[in-house]
Amino acid sequence: MEGGTNLKRFIVMTTVFIMLFLSIFLFYESNNKVGTASKYNMYFAPRTLYWGVEGADVKTVQDKLLRWGYYDGYVDGIYGARTYRAVIRFQNKNGLNPDGVVGPSTAQALGMVTTAPSSAQGVSRKSDEYLLARAIHGEARGEPYVGKVAVAAVILNRTRSPSFPNTIAGVIYQPLAFTAVADGQINLTPNKDSINAARDALNGWDPTYGCLYYWNPATATSKWIWSRKVVLKIGKHWFGL
């Protein structure tokens, strides 16, 4: 009788121990996954200014460019056409990529601090990777994984085309180029798949075979896009040249 009681007590204690261990493990894993994107955001996502954003940083850029003779508009904190053109003029004058985006290099030339902490290693690659992941998440988070990589590949293909800006930020923030930028979804925190897809594209995977465009035929409103040659279809997106 006593042996049976001890056995039951052992089973109960073992079960409680296993449940406690699993609870701790699941809690750690959950926080670790949430923390991944946050760590990318903290260390590798510089404050980027582009057409459509507003704020004190934009006012600072406008004020500097106005005093230096590049800008001829109001210092209103709204990044519009005049600010965009003024930034390009400044970039051309200072040997920077003329993409109309105030990223780390342009911000440094303007005397502004917008980059990630100096202790971060490989910040250029990581900041590009994270920005690309944000674009993927905003444009294709409901697509299959290969479709996410394909969207990133189109962005990278554009940087190598003379018809587009030659930086990732320039391509993504080119006025009216991507819906995710226009509606603000570019600012959502990317998930693990989007980050991995960005990394795969940067490492050379191009499922589109060099495509420069993609669109969803069910929602596309541009008549011009239908003049593009369709190369392949992945998920809901068509990819073309």
Quote the CA–CA distance of 236 and 78 in Å, as a whole number. Answer: 34
The fold for domain 123-240 equals Arc Repressor Mutant, subunit A (1.10.10)
> What's the mean pLDDT in 66-94?
92
Cβ neighbours for 147, distance < 8 A, ≥ 6 positions apart? 140, 234, 235, 236, 237
Q: Strand order in 237-240's β-sheet?
A: 213-215, 237-240, 230-234
Q: Is the pLDDT of residue 229 over 80?
A: yes
Query: For 154-174, how does the pLDDT look when each residue is reduced to its tens digit (9 = 90+)?
Result: 999 999 998 998 889 999 999
Domain extent listing, the chain: 56-109, 123-240
The reported pLDDT for the residue numbered 190 is 95
Q: Provide the mean pLDDT of the chain.
A: 82
C-alpha span between 74 and 83 (Å, rounded): 9
Q: Count Cα neighbours of 241 within 13 Å in the Cβ-side half-sphere.
A: 8
pLDDT digits (tens, 9 = 90+) for 111-155: 886 444 333 334 467 888 999 999 999 999 999 999 999 999 999
Decide: 152 and 205 in contact? Cβ < 8 Å: no
Q: Confidence class of residue 4 from pLDDT cuts 50, 70 and 90?
A: low
Q: What is the largest CA-CA distance in the chain?
A: 95
pLDDT tens track for 84-94: 999 999 999 98
| Per-residue confidence band for 47, with pLDDT thresholds at 50, 70 and 90 | low
Determine the 3-state secondary structure of 178 from DSSP.
coil
Topology (CATH) of 56-109: Muramoyl-pentapeptide Carboxypeptidase; domain 1 (1.10.101)
Instruction: Name the nearest CA neighbour of 169 among 82, 77, 51.
Output: 51
User: 């929602």: which residue's tokens?
Assistant: 219
